[in-house]
Structure 1
Amino acid sequence: MPADIDERALSDWCLEHMGSPVAEPTFSTGNLSAVHGLRLADGREVVVKVRDGDARLEPCTWVHGRMWEAGFPCPQPLAGPSPLGGKVASAETCVPGDEPPAPADAPKLFAHLLSDFVTRAEGFDPQPLLRPAPAWVHWYHEENGVWPVPDDRDVDLNAERCSVTAWVDELGAAVRRRLEEVRDAACVIGHGDWDGRNVKFRDGRPLAVHDWDSVVYEPEVVIIGQAAAMFHGGPTGAGASVEQTQAFLEEYQIARGRTLSDNELQLCWAAGLWVRAFNAKKFHLDNFDALERDEAETRMAYAGI
């Protein structure tokens, strides 16, 4: 639990916003946010997410609520975002249990669920306050250099120059030039962090989509591309293989009932490559190689770069 938020403060927040104090904690985890599983005194199992304030949180929560009302598989939002100890907290129902899909089934399952997300959200009001997107999708940033401010560390990636990652800097610049075509394109609502940490299945069926702070309002090719590159990802940032990405793109088109043009497919590959390049640059600081040059060159060819 963050040092400035004690158990009493968290329990008081639950009492104020959900009508019941905390009986006992059940788990604690998180990356950009502190995520607390709690059993309330009235018996409910809930999850409270505590993080820094952000103008994106209100529209993210609005989309989350609308998607739950529409029957999309996700936890029910219960409270927030509301202040808690200098940060902002939200609560939702706890949806326990999941199992990773079989590798052969994963592209279809992840792609069809994302298509369902985008399709359901088409009837929602536009959400321009969701822009700019989180850093790993924010290729159109205005920083003085290739890279935006990273989401999870206090470092200037543009100041981190070395011969080992010079090719990654060149790659990031090339991808940004390719994506300029969609800078002013029409946007749709989707999810910007579509991987197995956030998208859960049980018995081959969607169980719950988590991390609603990662809702985005971006061109559809960007939403498709980042998901296709990262749906088989995780904390290492390595993402899906080229073959898995190809399978995801094929399944997404089937689910949406329309064929993407060759140029749209190239832009999907470019959007995915932006995430992979950003991760490669960032995780080099941890001495982890998140993208091999051979794979990068293959993805560049598919992206028309």
Structure 2
Amino acid sequence: MPLDELPDWLPAWCLDQLGREPADVLFRSQQVSMVFGLRLAGGRNVVVKARADDGRAASCVAAQAWLAERGFPCARPLTPVVGVGALAVHAEEFRPGGEVLHGDSPDVAVRCAELFARLMAELAGVIVAPPLPNPSWVRWDETGAGTWPAIDFLDALDQSVVSGHIVEAAERARARLLAGGLPCVLGHADFEAQNLRWQGRQVWTVHDWDSLAWQPEAALVGAASGSFASAGPPTLAPIASSEAFLAAYQDFRGRLFTPAELEVAWAAGVWMAAYNAREMALFAGPPAGGDALRAQAAERLRRANA
């Protein structure tokens, strides 16, 4: 990406917040956030992230900074969140390297569960305002919502392409989640292979701290148990691997879930998978996640008592 194609506000923002203007663009990506990898004048590499300012960003960045200071493997924020028009913007260190861990076997699930348990244990010590509203893919509790959280650009699309089994699974899982009555905690809500980098058996970096959420621990663990293997388009791990993830998480955290918490965990995995399958259907994306949900929904919902 040429420098002259950067957003007009970005060079001046870098000069003001980081002391140098961009000299080169290392990469650019855009999903929920715009992410720019930049080499500043003088040679320093940084990452600048900008997303719609919905009030979540300051808590997410503060939690990330706290973890980085304690040595958790994540990029260290270099600036606080700064408003730029309707955007919330911050910079963090450039932390390249590491490899994606591919696979959805129970062995891979246990490795990922150990990391998730470590992550959740660290976040338990963070004191920030809850990062609300929650990311849409774990926002099953939106006040006044129907099956899905209200998202204009998704709701405007042709909903008839979403299979009935996806909607049914989401409705049943959501009902169980809303009946849970469990306290909320801070947790990572996008725990997918694509957001993790490993060096051998050691984790190198956990990415996507924009996706912190305020939901029950069991629900966050359940969502992660279904999504951990997603290295590209979202998929759903095999039931045996989700089961291994849940068991290993409890072992590493040193606390057994109650029967009700386990039901909530299984329900959360279903709801997140259904949300992702709906989005893939609306955009004519890969059907793997929806196919896996169709094959697994009955058993997962049985375990959820949904």
In the other structure, the counterpart of 2:123 is 121
> Which stretch has the larger CA shift, 246-255 or 281-290?
281-290
Alignment of 1:184-199 (within 5 A): 184-199=181-196
In the other structure, the counterpart of 2:44 is 44
Cα distance in 1 between the residues matched to 2:256 and 2:5 = 50
Does structure 1 residue 147 correspond to structure 2 residue 148?
yes
Cα distance in 2 between the residues matched to 1:266 and 1:7 = 46
Shift of 1:143: 4.2
Amino acid at match of 1:146: T
Q: Given that residues 101 and 196 in structure 2 are in contact (C-alpha distance below 8 angstroms), is that contact kept between their aligned partners in structure 1?
A: no
Q: Given that residues 48 and 91 in structure 1 are in contact (C-alpha distance below 8 angstroms), is that contact kept between their aligned partners in structure 2?
A: yes
Q: How has the CA–CA distance of structure 1 residues 158 and 178 changed in structure 2, closer, same or farther, with 3 Å as cutoff?
A: farther
Q: Given that residues 147 and 157 in structure 1 are in contact (C-alpha distance below 8 angstroms), is that contact kept between their aligned partners in structure 2?
A: no
In the other structure, the counterpart of 2:155 is 156
Q: Could you list the per-position Cα deviations for residues 239-281 of structure 1 after superposition, in whole angstroms to 9, with x for gaps in the alignment?
A: 3222221121121111101222232212111011100111122
In the other structure, the counterpart of 1:109 is 111
Q: Could you list the per-position Cα deviations for residues 168-227 of structure 1 after superposition, in whole angstroms to 9, with x for gaps in the alignment?
A: 222211111111233x42121110100012122111111111111101121101110111
Q: Given that residues 24 and 38 in structure 2 are in contact (C-alpha distance below 8 angstroms), is that contact kept between their aligned partners in structure 1?
A: yes
Shift of 1:141: 1.2
Alignment of 1:34-183 (within 5 A): 34-84=34-84, 86-101=86-101, 103=103, 104=105, 105-125=107-127, 127-128=129-130, 130-150=131-151, 154-156=153-155, 160-161=159-160, 165-182=163-180
Cα distance in 2 between the residues matched to 1:23 and 1:112 = 40
Q: Given that residues 157 and 282 in structure 2 are in contact (C-alpha distance below 8 angstroms), is that contact kept between their aligned partners in structure 1?
A: no
Shift of 1:31: 1.1
Cα distance in 2 between the residues matched to 1:155 and 1:136 = 12
Q: Could you list the per-position Cα deviations for residues 26-58 of structure 1 after superposition, in whole angstroms to 9, with x for gaps in the alignment?
A: 111121112111111232211111221120111
Q: Given that residues 102 and 193 in structure 2 are in contact (C-alpha distance below 8 angstroms), is that contact kept between their aligned partners in structure 1?
A: no
Q: How has the CA–CA distance of structure 1 residues 217 and 301 changed in structure 2, closer, same or farther, with 3 Å as cutoff?
A: same
Cα distance in 1 between the residues matched to 2:165 and 2:7 = 47
Q: Structure 2 unaligned runs (5+)?
A: none
Q: Given that residues 52 and 87 in structure 1 are in contact (C-alpha distance below 8 angstroms), is that contact kept between their aligned partners in structure 2?
A: yes
Cα distance in 2 between the residues matched to 1:214 and 1:155 = 19
Cα distance in 2 between the residues matched to 1:283 and 1:8 = 32
Shift of 1:149: 2.5
Cα distance in 1 between the residues matched to 2:109 and 2:252 = 12
Q: Given that residues 63 and 128 in structure 2 are in contact (C-alpha distance below 8 angstroms), is that contact kept between their aligned partners in structure 1?
A: no
Give the SS at the match of 2:9. helix
Shift of 1:7: 5.6
RMSD, matched Cα? 2.5
Give the SS at the match of 2:14. helix
Cα distance in 1 between the residues matched to 2:166 and 2:7 = 44
Cα distance in 2 between the residues matched to 1:285 and 1:7 = 29
> Which stretch has the larger CA shift, 234-243 or 294-303?
234-243
Q: Given that residues 28 and 36 in structure 1 are in contact (C-alpha distance below 8 angstroms), is that contact kept between their aligned partners in structure 2?
A: yes
Q: Given that residues 10 and 84 in structure 1 are in contact (C-alpha distance below 8 angstroms), is that contact kept between their aligned partners in structure 2?
A: no
Cα distance in 2 between the residues matched to 1:157 and 1:107 = 36
Cα distance in 2 between the residues matched to 1:300 and 1:101 = 28
In the other structure, the counterpart of 1:243 is 240
Q: Given that residues 57 and 88 in structure 2 are in contact (C-alpha distance below 8 angstroms), is that contact kept between their aligned partners in structure 1?
A: no
Amino acid at match of 1:83: G
Q: How has the CA–CA distance of structure 1 residues 102 and 279 changed in structure 2, closer, same or farther, with 3 Å as cutoff?
A: closer
Q: Structure 1 unaligned runs (5+)?
A: none
TM-score (norm 1): 0.90
Give the SS at the match of 2:49. strand
Shift of 1:73: 0.7
TM-score (norm 2): 0.89
Shift of 1:159: 7.3
Q: Given that residues 127 and 217 in structure 1 are in contact (C-alpha distance below 8 angstroms), is that contact kept between their aligned partners in structure 2?
A: no
Q: Indicate the percent of aligned positions where both proteins have the same amino acid.
A: 33
